[in-house]
C-alpha cells in the first residue's frame, strides 16, 4: 500500500498568483500550484489570469491567502421561492377521498387515474 497520494493531498495547498515580467507590455499573471514530491518541489500553472483586471487578480490573491472578502449573511436577499410538495399533498388527498369517483359516477375514458399513490 502506497502513501504517496496522502502526501500529495497534505502538501498541495500551495496556490499563489505569480506576476511574470513581460518586457514592454503588461506583466503576465499566472495562477501557480506548488506541490512537494519527496525532496522535489513541482510547480504547475492551471490558469493564465492576464485577461482579468488588476482588481479581480488582487481579489483572487486575497482569497487564496484565506481572507474573507465580506460578510455573506447580508449579501443575498430572498425575493421568492418555488413551493413544492403541495401538489403531491393535494393529489394524495384526492386519491384517498376517491375524487375521481365523486366527479362522475360511471367510469368513462375521461376518468382521472392516480398512478403510484400510497393510500
Q: For 50-105, what is each residue's pLDDT tens digit?
A: 999 999 999 888 888 888 777 767 777 778 766 667 877 888 888 888 877 766 66
Q: How far apart are the C-alpha atoms of 80 and 28, rounded to whole Å?
A: 43
Q: Can you give the pLDDT at residue 4?
A: 41
Between residues 79 and 118, which one has the greater pLDDT?
79
Residue 5 has pLDDT above 50, yes or no: no
Q: Is the pTM of this model over 0.85?
A: no
SS3 102: helix
Amino acid at each position: 500500500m502506497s502513501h504517496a497520494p496522502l502526501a500529495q493531498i497534505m502538501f498541495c495547498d500551495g496556490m499563489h498568483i505569480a506576476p511574470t515580467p513581460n518586457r514592454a507590455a503588461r506583466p503576465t499573471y499566472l495562477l501557480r500550484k506548488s506541490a512537494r514530491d519527496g525532496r522535489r518541489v513541482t510547480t504547475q500553472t492551471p490558469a493564465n489570469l492576464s485577461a482579468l483586471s488588476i482588481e479581480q487578480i488582487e481579489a483572487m490573491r486575497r482569497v487564496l491567502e484565506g481572507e474573507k472578502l465580506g460578510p455573506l449573511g447580508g449579501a443575498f436577499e430572498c425575493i421568492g421561492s418555488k413551493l413544492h410538495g403541495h401538489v403531491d399533498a393535494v393529489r394524495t388527498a384526492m386519491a384517498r377521498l376517491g375524487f375521481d369517483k365523486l366527479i362522475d359516477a360511471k367510469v368513462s375514458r375521461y376518468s382521472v387515474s392516480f398512478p403510484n399513490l400510497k393510500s
